Amino acid sequence: MKRSTPRLVSLALALFAPTLLIACSDSGPTDPSDGLTVFGGPTDPARDGSYTEAIRAENGIASLEPVVIGGVEQWVLIRGYDVTNPVLVFLHGGPGSPAMPYARFSFGGLERHFTVVTWDQRGCGKSYRAAIDPQAITLERMLSDTRELIQMMRARFGVQKVYLMGLSWGSILGTLTARDHPELLHAYIGVGQVVDVERSIPIAHAAALARATDLGRDDAIAALSQIQVDPVDWDQVDELGEWLEELGMGDIHDPSLLPGFAAEAGPLTEYTAANEASEDAWQALYDASPLRTDETWLRNLDMIDQVPRLEVPVYFMAGRYDYKTPGVLAEEFLNGLDAPEGKRMFWFENSAHVPFIEERSPFHTVMIDTILAEVGG
């Protein structure tokens, strides 16, 4: 099955980075007279000249840096107002759809309560290198990289456990890590939780037809009617995905909001022009990897069967309009899951696949007032 470029990272690069070249001033005053230390900002750039917006705090961190994971240099963004807060590690989607283009905007409201770690996974975003072997980009290797990153952050911040959040493909890594290494985690948070790809396709198809009918989109109805989902024609799945995006049932429900979000976020200083320009190259790298050349692993994925029990608190976040990963399957998975430490589902009524962008404030409220309050640090 040929895969198109993940839409979220392309949207983020297009909308969150239009002022990259004028990002040469700090985000605010750095007068130290109030006794607070300034972390990050343009006076403290990364090796490649990129930087992350400054944080002013007594015990904060704002660092954009390369680290070695699995023998390969990869980049992480670490931001928080107090390094004694719990650590939250975010696993982006894709595979190969890095989060740094939207991380500071999406998770900034969590930085006073968590030390937020955003990682551009092996071979994509700031972690792209032409010399990376595509054959090393496997599910097993990415799971190993995930564990190594968690262990690195535990050691760095002197904590026994971290919070782990996975989006879409990242939810596969997160769920399997939570299953196999609960001792490393305070809790697991699945956003756009992947459950069973083959079962998700007819659900998404039926929902897309219904929405196209409601909207009077005869073009969509005609095109969707030609897509075979029983049994699934895997060669048509990308076309279904394109219609989900068109109908507000893919990454973003209301794309008209994105320019306003971009203006609020300001320039994407975490990426250089070279980082942005390498998107086609890193997508080609992933297309040549076993994750894409043989997708049997994905088509056979069934979290309900493969993950019957999780020994950490489990939280699922679902956008009501998300049919890339239908929330009804996440709910079914959660209802049947043996989770002795507790489990909860949260719906975001005005979002699709990424509620932390479309409904940031409610998302942050759940993270802080419910999950952190229940689990603690």
Distance linking the first and last C-alpha atoms of the chain: 42
* Distance between CA atoms of residues 84 and 159, nearest Å: 9
Cα separation values, 186 from 6, 83, 334, Å: 30, 16, 18
Task: Give how far the C-alpha of residue 163 lies from the chain's centroid of Cα atoms, to the nearest Å.
Answer: 14
Q: Specify whether the CB–CB gap between 94 and 65 falls below 8 A.
A: no
* Residue 126 main-chain phi, psi, to 5 deg: -70, -15
Strands 343-348 and 115-120: unpaired
Diameter over CA atoms, the chain: 67
Helices within the chain (DSSP H only): 7-15, 100-107, 139-157, 169-180, 197-215, 218-225, 237-246, 258-265, 273-277, 279-287, 290-293, 296-299, 303-306, 327-336, 355-358, 360-365, 373-375
Task: Give how far the C-alpha of residue 130 lies from the chain's centroid of Cα atoms, to the nearest Å.
Answer: 23
* Distance between CA atoms of residues 135 and 241, nearest Å: 26
Residue 130 C-beta-side C-alpha neighbours within 13 Å: 4
Which burial class, exposed, middle or buried, applies to 308 when counting CB atoms under 10 A from its CB (0-12, 13-18, 19+)?
Answer: exposed
User: In sequence order, what are the residues at sequence separation of 6 or more whose Cβ sits closer than 8 angstroms to the Cβ of residue 228?
Assistant: 236
Q: What is the set of active-site residues?
A: 168, 322, 353
